[in-house]
Amino acid sequence: MSSASRPGPGRLEAIWLKRAKRGPMDPVDRATISGTGLVGSLRTSSIRQITLIEQEVWEGLMEQVGGSAPPSARRANLLVRGIALAGSRGRLLRIGAVRLRVAGETRPCERMDEVIPGLQAAMRPDWGGGMYAQVELAGEIRVGDFVAWDDEAPSVTR
């Protein structure tokens, strides 16, 4: 399941807006990321402004637990492919013109077992629940945008 060996750049595969707590995850083709998070999506905190998961990791988790839940069941904002997120705390991630600073690992909660029994435990190792980030540079993103590590970009305070 580890994706640490995959080099970037990757691709933004999906964007979801969460408009209400426990509400549906609404897919959109494009979205605006402001200095505080995804516009139109319920804010989680000033630290967890944006959440991301990897397509390859989700597919591996579904194989592991024998499930077929869609990646939106993870309830993250963004789905990326082709770039490893594990162990990336402090790194700068570029999605199109947007820059996100990885703040930490998103730990899976008990709601994942509501999706598929055993999913929460399966997600615990190696950042299987994805990551959360803070906005360094706001802008518009679109499904299909490139995703790459950009550790040399200057930090922008928002």
Residues 28-71: tens digit of each pLDDT? 999 999 999 999 888 767 888 999 999 999 999 999 999 999 99
79 has pLDDT over 70: yes
What amino acid occupies position 137?
A: L
Query: pLDDT band at 21, cuts 50/70/90?
Result: confident
Residues 29, 109: Cα–Cα separation, whole Å: 27
Query: pLDDT band at 9, cuts 50/70/90?
Result: confident
The two tokens of residue 20 are 């209400």
What burial letters (b/e) apply to 88-127, b meaning 16+ CB within 10 Å? beeebbbbbebbbbbbebbebeeebbebbeebbebbeebb
Query: pLDDT band at 4, cuts 50/70/90?
Result: very low
Rounded percentage of the chain residues whose pLDDT exceeds 70: 89
The two tokens of residue 27 are 């897919």
pTM of the predicted protein model: 0.88
